[in-house]
Structure formats: structure tokens, C-alpha cells
Structure 1
Amino acid sequence: MGLLQQIAEWFTQATHWSGEDGLPVRLLEHLEYSVLSTVVAALIGLPIGLFIGHTGRGAFLAINLSGFGRALPTVGLVTLVFLVSGLSIWPVYIALVVLAVPAIVTNAYAGMAGVEPDLRDAARGMGMTGWQRLWKVEAPVALPLILTGIRLAAVQVVATATIAAYVSFGGLGRYLFDGLAQRDLPQVLAGAVAVAVLAVVTDLLLAALQRVLLPRGLRLRRAQASAGG
């Protein structure tokens, strides 16, 4: 029996779709880790990125956070926090949040930095306060990159949330680590396929949401730019 056939057979077995170790339960666990971590990262990263982009202070931090996120040894961070805090799920959440924050901060800053100076000057000339300029002028213009940062962070988190299984918790990573322990290659590959599909679906859904949330004026502006290019 070929490997692809074994993977397909794994997905079609009823035992893999029911019980505590079934795909629906593992998927919900994986989504819980991913959604909560991304939301917390956005609550932390967006204010930082908007502040840096609005004031121009701390630009060095925003620029270098992107490299930090790529270099972060996520499994090592989970292990370290796990050993310090004891047997709990918090190391997983901490690692995923730390992983997601750099992309959100960097893209929010880049979006704010890309606002044309003429727009800022015009808003200032109209007597707008700093908060009004931020929320009525700068943030709407920066929204495409802000949403892109959240989208990138979410996909990263979904792909990395398998580390929960590394410290004996749930999620789709259970199939990877349990399969490796049992030398069950179809289970390992089935778990990898499930995570990959979830990451792709997450990206597609957030891309659709991004198009919906984008202000109509910016959508028309982008369409005109694409047509002109």
C-alpha cells in the first residue's frame, strides 16, 4: 500500500473522528491555542506598532523585531517557561504570543510609516488632535499592512501551535508527536497535512476578511493602482 493511500485511509477511519483523540476535538484544541494567542498578541502588538509609527519613537525596535521573531527558538522557549512555571498550558501561550507579536508590531509600524506626510500636515492644519490624526487619518491608511501583520501572525501561530503536544497538551500536534513515538508514519503525515490545511484555510479566511474590512476608498485606490500597473 502506497504512503498516500495509507494517509487517505487514516483520514477515513471512523475511530480518528470520534473520542478525546479524534480530529474534531484536536482541531478545537488547536484553534483555541491559536485564536487566543493571536488575540493577545494583537492586543499587545498593535498599540506598540501604532505608537511607534505615530510618534516616530522606537523605530529601531520595530524594525529589529521582525528578525527577532524569525530567530526565536519557539520549542526552546516553551521548554524554558515550562520548566520554570511547572505543569501548565501557559508556556505554550507565552511562546505563541511572543512569536506573533513581532509580525504585528512590524507591519503596524510599516503601515503608519507609509502614511504620506502631506496627509499628516493636512490633518494637523485642520486642527485635529494627535488622537484624531491617529484614528481618523493614519490608522485607516495603514489598515492594509496592519491586517497583513495580523494575518501573518495568525498563520505562524497555527503552524507552530503543534508545540502544545511537545509538553503533553493537545491540538493537532498530538498526531505528530504520538506518531513519532509509535513510529506510525501515516499518523505523523496525517497530522502534518491537517496542520497545513488549517494554516491555508486560516490564511484564505483572513485574506477574505481583510478585503471586507478594507475601506472602500482604499479598495478603489488599490484597484486603480493595479490597473495602472
Structure 2
Amino acid sequence: MSLAVAMIVAAGFAMIGFPFNHLQAWISWGRWKTLGLLLVYLSTVAVGGGVIGWAIGSLARTQINPNDAVKGLCYGLIGSVLLRADFRSRRKPPAELRDAVSMLTSVIEWIRQALESVMDRAIGNWAGEQSPESLEYHSFNALKGMQGKLEPRQRRTQLELHTPAIENIYSSDDKKRKDARANLMAFLRTYYVEQHLPRPTLHLWQHREA
């Protein structure tokens, strides 16, 4: 009973292990792939964190509370805290569990990188499917979103870099048009990945009607 509760508690804390905007962006872009990776992540942390917390409690041989639910809650908290501490600062856990904790934190990091990779690839595919008008619209939206974070000189530099690309995307010169499209696609991909923004839901035709 206490082990089952510990696993449930560890899974619950795993849900807040990632920032909300990261989860929102990953699910928005990756969808079923992301949900599958998150299921693996929750299962790994639930089993690993719960078992590690339970094992530490057993090794310590301390009676936290005779109630199994309370003991499970404490074990789950211990396992979650230990995994997070090792993941962030690489503090050494108890010798008996060091290999297990290190392996689990490696799995967690692998899953995080996989989620980022799925999102990055999906954003690149999305940018490649956009029309010239859509690339122009989303690029200007991205520039507006960056304004509050940039100094005046940086804002001018960004505009100077993007104005030719936006103009050349309609050029009759095939090379200029392809280069401009590639530049805008790369800009949007970098912006959406770095900011962890969800997939845009406003289509260009809706923007024009508004």
C-alpha cells in the first residue's frame, strides 16, 4: 500500500517537473509523440521515484507513521526530491541507490531532449508549409513579441535584418526568394523553440477578415 501511494505521489510531482509553457508547447507541436514521451516520463518517475523513496524509508528503518497512506506520501516526496536534487546539482544520493538514481536522472534528461527534438522538427515542418504571406505575418508577430525584450538598437537591427527578407520573399528572382524564405523560416523556428510557444491557431485569412 505505501509503495503504491509513493508511486502515485512521485508521478504527481513529476507533472510539475516541467514548466507549464514547455508542456503546452510540446503537446501543441508534438501531439501523440509528445503524449507518448510524457507517459514514459511519468511511468519512469512514478516507478523509480516511488521505489527509491520507499527503499530509503526501509533502509532508514524509521517509523514515520503507522498509516500506509501517510508513509507512502512521505516516501513519494523523498523519492521526488532526491531525483530532482541529483538532476539539478548532481549531489550524491545514498551509496546503495546511487546507480539507480543516476540512471533515472539520465532517462529523464533523455526524455526532455527528445521532447525538445520533436517540437523543433515539428516547428521546422510547419514553417516550411507556410505561404509567403503567412511567413510575413508570423515574422512580424514574432518581432512584435520580441520588442519588449530588446533594446532600441537591437530592435532596429532586427528590423533591418528582416525587412529585406520580407521584401525579397515576393521577388521574381528565384535565388533571392529562396534565400528570403529560408531566412524567415529559420527565424521563426528559432523564435518558437526558444520561447516555447504553442502552434499558432490564428490563420492568415482570419487575420485579414479581422
TM-score normalised to structure 2 length = 0.32
TM-score normalised to structure 1 length = 0.30
